[in-house]
Structure 1
Amino acid sequence: MNNSTKQVAPERQLRMKHVVAIGFAYMAPFAVFDTFGIVSHVTNGLVPLAYFIVFISILFTALSYRKLVQKYPISGSVYLYTKRIIHPYAAILVGWVSFIAYLALPMINALLASVYLSSGFPNVPKWVWVISLITFITLMNCVGIKIATTLNTWLVILQFIVVIVFIGLCLKDLLTTPAQSMPIHDLLPTPNEFPTLLPGAALLTLSFVGFDAITNLCDETIRPEKTIPKAIILLAIGGLVFFVVVTYLMQSLFPNASQFNNYEAASPEIAVHLGGNLFLAFFLGAALLSCIASGLASQLVASRFLYAMGRDGALPKQVFSYLHPRSKTPLFNILIVGLLAATALFLDLEKATALVNFGAFSAFAFVNICVLYAYFKRKKKPAFFENFLFPFLGLVFTGFLWISLNPFSLFIGGIWTLLGIVYLISTTRFFKKAPVDLHYDELSGM
């Protein structure tokens, strides 16, 4: 094959620190402050326990992702796993449904950024901030993954500095009034409080979305079969520690949501309580940085997910598998995600969050189904716990989160799924045309 027609390949540049930084940025850890008042209201002051329930529910799914990426260390995530293990037709539909989560996260970050900036510049229309943020993160991702990752890493570091200051101020406040500290037994629910925990946990699942997203970075990661699995577990456990510590301190200071003037926007009240208007300014600045970092990471991941489907022929190859010769980035995909994210102008946070939850839960379910399907397909059964029990528990917990979704999430997700079915039928000519297959070495057996 001559050089003029040779396919440009992704360049492996990412190490563990880069992958973890992208994962944490994708998780948008500062969102813990945005959701605290709402979840405290829903769970009657049991936010740390709600985070722990989410962690348990996603831990088994994280183990399934870890297992599958060890076998298939190539970008594509749940789409790729479903294709290789179950069936290409199922993979196209799963990829379609899952993509809605990757697409909606840049929308959420743009909307949140517009909220923060509009509070400081009320005379500037919100659409200006939405378009500005999307344009900025699109340009950064177009330049190259190394520059986008470096910027992301620094944005994550700055956020954690502000969080450390926040924790210090909380501890100072609690030490001066020890009676405020929340005993551990107060985090245990009464029988009447159990029904409120699942809806609260469902609202918080978005906080852990990130450990799964990094599986789309395999093509650009050095030794992905080792790096990505370790990063998945590190992100899940790191997220648990971060969220539980921060919410435990906040719940100790504010045991119930009735103490806020507006529990849906409790974080500014908490910041002013701890450090006055000066800390509030730093706090809001860090929240804006969180939106930018998460926007960068989510657009980066979404473009790689589209690239994997385009490379495989599930989407038009000429567009979706194209890599820029110099930057080695899926340029068209980045622009497409940016344009689609601009539809945030016509959505609100509730609708965008509904899209993320539906897509994320769909992906979680099928990752566990893939491991279970592979287990039953093999005549010689592999290890029972990691190949059957853990993915089964992951599927059960995902099912509990599914039934906790609000009707709007199910309605929007159902419409998106129907569109995916129409796309699948039309592109396969009523299942007469097989999708293009991939050929690569599978590094290990399951």
Structure 2
Amino acid sequence: MNTNESKLKRTLKLRHILVLGLAYMSPFAVFDTFGIISELTNGHVPASYVLVMIAVLFTVFSYSKMAKIYPSSGSAYTYTRRTINSGLGFLVGWAVLLDYLFLPMINAMFTGIYLSAVFPTVPSWIWVLGMVILITTMNIAGVKIAVSANTLMVIFQALIAAIFIFLTARSIIVGNIGYFSFNPFYSEAMNFSTVFAGASILMLSFLGFDAVTTLSEEAVKPKTDIPRAIFLVAFLGGIFFLAVSYFMQSLFPSVGALVQISPDIEEASPNIALYIGGSLFQAIFLSGALTACIASGLAGQTSASRLLYAMGRDGILFKRVFAYIHPKLATPVLNIVLTGILASSALFLSLHTATSLINFGAFTAFAFVNLSVVFYYFKRNKSHTMRSVFSHVAVPFIGFSLNAYLWYKLDTAAMTLGLFWMAVGFIYLLSATKFFTKAPPEFNFDESAAG
């Protein structure tokens, strides 16, 4: 099979891209992390979301600019490769792989946790493998199948979240539990160091906005729809996370009050669902959580397979394997199967380990996307006005600084595992370039963009 004979097809419109981005982001992520961040920040989860949303919006600005210039698969890998250095681009792509490859694994883990709680007699590995097989099969069938399934699942999650907010507000107003105030955003007891630490963890919730850039070669109008989708996914997701976390924090303004109904702080959200709506709503809530796992895992596997396709097509990874597109299904089947196998390692790794790796990769990618805007500006722009310097240098540099600081606030486990992963990537790059005596292979992106 000649890998150049088959290409990804342009079938995705703005609404399709938006749905995949929101599904990848997983609206239910706010529930998964609430207990941990509430304990870490001493009741200031919304404040952490404000900080991370500021960093995200600066980065969204840079992603939008680069997506217009390079409307092709590859995301941060492509931008760094084309504007700074091809070898550095590979290392950024290697870091980005942590995000995409490990997200389906995390969702497989959550599936095992939720279903094992409902069916304790069934071994957890059955649920994990069942989830991996399901999303792998759906992705092989085609990206439009994944979009259709994700549309229904995102709507379902939004409805459950709306009911959750209503029941939480009712408990505060009618039950005289908790209170509405500005304290979740700022109080005299707030520690900015822990709030920043919380923000470094919550970045996981926003990963959907950058994932849509990997769909550029399947978008009907990539130069307009991809930048719009980037902003809409980040903005809509941010507003949702702020609203839900504010109501939850208002209901339980102190960690002590939260521990009373949920001794295990990591399982706070399902216990809050039981507290505000009884057993019936808890069951509905858990069904929404499972739906979120499937939707996010499905979208995550879609993005991971496209990133591997871009790197394989460039010859950085083995072209015959990673650049292969099935002639009838028009999907990178081998990449999808590979990401499914990697997701199955959820049987052996901890949730904390996988989450740490994702955060390391995310901040690395975001920082270099911001730098790519600066490098592109000085390489390609001959005239430098105050306005252009502000939008192409000052704003991206602020985004870079915020992401670099949040990267610095990651825990020791994340830094150790992330740096080890980067060391492996660097060794591979040395081998592929014969100790930098040979330039990494480069694909003509202008041709792909015109397709």
* 1:112 maps to amino acid: F
In the alignment, the residues of structure 2 paired with residue 427 and residue 361 of structure 1 have an alpha-carbon distance, to the nearest angstrom, of 25
In the alignment, the residues of structure 1 paired with residue 364 and residue 220 of structure 2 have an alpha-carbon distance, to the nearest angstrom, of 29
Deviations 1:256-283 (A, max 9, x none): 2222222221012210111100000000
Task: Pick the aligned partner of 1:331 from 330, 333, 351.
Answer: 333
The 1:251–1:385 alpha-carbon spacing in structure 2 relative to 1, beyond 3 Å, is same
Question: How does 1:17-416 map onto structure 2 within 5 Å?
Answer: 17-177=15-175, 180-185=178-183, 187-190=185-188, 193-259=191-257, 260=259, 261-377=263-379, 378-381=381-384, 383-416=388-421
The 1:360–1:4 alpha-carbon spacing in structure 2 relative to 1, beyond 3 Å, is closer
CA positional deviation for 1:177: 4.3
In the alignment, the residues of structure 1 paired with residue 8 and residue 397 of structure 2 have an alpha-carbon distance, to the nearest angstrom, of 35
CA positional deviation for 1:435: 2.1
Deviations 1:179-238 (A, max 9, x none): 733212553132752221111111111001110011000011110110010011111111
CA positional deviation for 1:53: 0.6
The 1:443–1:225 alpha-carbon spacing in structure 2 relative to 1, beyond 3 Å, is farther
* 1:138 maps to amino acid: T
* Identity level (%): 47
The 1:186–1:361 alpha-carbon spacing in structure 2 relative to 1, beyond 3 Å, is closer
In the alignment, the residues of structure 1 paired with residue 409 and residue 445 of structure 2 have an alpha-carbon distance, to the nearest angstrom, of 39
In the alignment, the residues of structure 2 paired with residue 335 and residue 179 of structure 1 have an alpha-carbon distance, to the nearest angstrom, of 49
* 1:54 maps to amino acid: V
The 1:284–1:387 alpha-carbon spacing in structure 2 relative to 1, beyond 3 Å, is same
The 1:347–1:443 alpha-carbon spacing in structure 2 relative to 1, beyond 3 Å, is closer
The 1:5–1:234 alpha-carbon spacing in structure 2 relative to 1, beyond 3 Å, is closer
SS at match of 2:437: coil
SS at match of 1:419: helix
Given that residues 171 and 177 in structure 2 are in contact (C-alpha distance below 8 angstroms), is that contact kept between their aligned partners in structure 1?
Answer: no
Given that residues 34 and 267 in structure 1 are in contact (C-alpha distance below 8 angstroms), is that contact kept between their aligned partners in structure 2?
Answer: yes
SS at match of 1:180: coil
In the alignment, the residues of structure 2 paired with residue 173 and residue 185 of structure 1 have an alpha-carbon distance, to the nearest angstrom, of 18
CA positional deviation for 1:52: 0.8
Deviations 1:388-435 (A, max 9, x none): 111100011011101110000000001100100110011111112222
In the alignment, the residues of structure 2 paired with residue 42 and residue 320 of structure 1 have an alpha-carbon distance, to the nearest angstrom, of 41
In the alignment, the residues of structure 2 paired with residue 51 and residue 273 of structure 1 have an alpha-carbon distance, to the nearest angstrom, of 24
* 1:166 maps to amino acid: F
In the alignment, the residues of structure 2 paired with residue 24 and residue 221 of structure 1 have an alpha-carbon distance, to the nearest angstrom, of 16
Deviations 1:39-91 (A, max 9, x none): 11111111111101100011111110000001101111111111111121111
In the alignment, the residues of structure 2 paired with residue 395 and residue 41 of structure 1 have an alpha-carbon distance, to the nearest angstrom, of 28
SS at match of 2:441: coil
CA positional deviation for 1:171: 2.2
Residue in 1 that maps onto 2:432: 427
Deviations 1:369-393 (A, max 9, x none): 1111223334423612220111100
CA positional deviation for 1:246: 0.6
In the alignment, the residues of structure 2 paired with residue 262 and residue 315 of structure 1 have an alpha-carbon distance, to the nearest angstrom, of 43
Alpha carbon RMSD of aligned pairs, Å? 1.8
Task: Pick the aligned partner of 1:441 from 442, 446, 450.
Answer: 446
Given that residues 184 and 246 in structure 2 are in contact (C-alpha distance below 8 angstroms), is that contact kept between their aligned partners in structure 1?
Answer: no
Given that residues 59 and 370 in structure 2 are in contact (C-alpha distance below 8 angstroms), is that contact kept between their aligned partners in structure 1?
Answer: yes
CA positional deviation for 1:107: 0.7
- Unaligned ranges ≥5, structure 1: none
The 1:365–1:430 alpha-carbon spacing in structure 2 relative to 1, beyond 3 Å, is same
How many residue pairs align between the two structures? 442
In the alignment, the residues of structure 1 paired with residue 406 and residue 151 of structure 2 have an alpha-carbon distance, to the nearest angstrom, of 31
**TM-score of the pair, normalised by structure 1:** 0.96
In the alignment, the residues of structure 2 paired with residue 433 and residue 30 of structure 1 have an alpha-carbon distance, to the nearest angstrom, of 46
Given that residues 41 and 190 in structure 2 are in contact (C-alpha distance below 8 angstroms), is that contact kept between their aligned partners in structure 1?
Answer: no
CA positional deviation for 1:301: 0.3
In the alignment, the residues of structure 1 paired with residue 189 and residue 252 of structure 2 have an alpha-carbon distance, to the nearest angstrom, of 22
In the alignment, the residues of structure 1 paired with residue 45 and residue 34 of structure 2 have an alpha-carbon distance, to the nearest angstrom, of 7
In the alignment, the residues of structure 1 paired with residue 363 and residue 329 of structure 2 have an alpha-carbon distance, to the nearest angstrom, of 33
In the alignment, the residues of structure 2 paired with residue 5 and residue 76 of structure 1 have an alpha-carbon distance, to the nearest angstrom, of 17
In the alignment, the residues of structure 1 paired with residue 237 and residue 13 of structure 2 have an alpha-carbon distance, to the nearest angstrom, of 20
**TM-score of the pair, normalised by structure 2:** 0.95
CA positional deviation for 1:4: 8.1
- Unaligned ranges ≥5, structure 2: none
Deviations 1:73-127 (A, max 9, x none): 1111111111111121111111112111111101100001100000011111111
After TM superposition, the structure 1 stretch with the greater mean CA deviation from structure 2, 294-303 or 365-374, is 365-374
SS at match of 1:152: helix
* 1:369 maps to amino acid: L
CA positional deviation for 1:174: 2.4
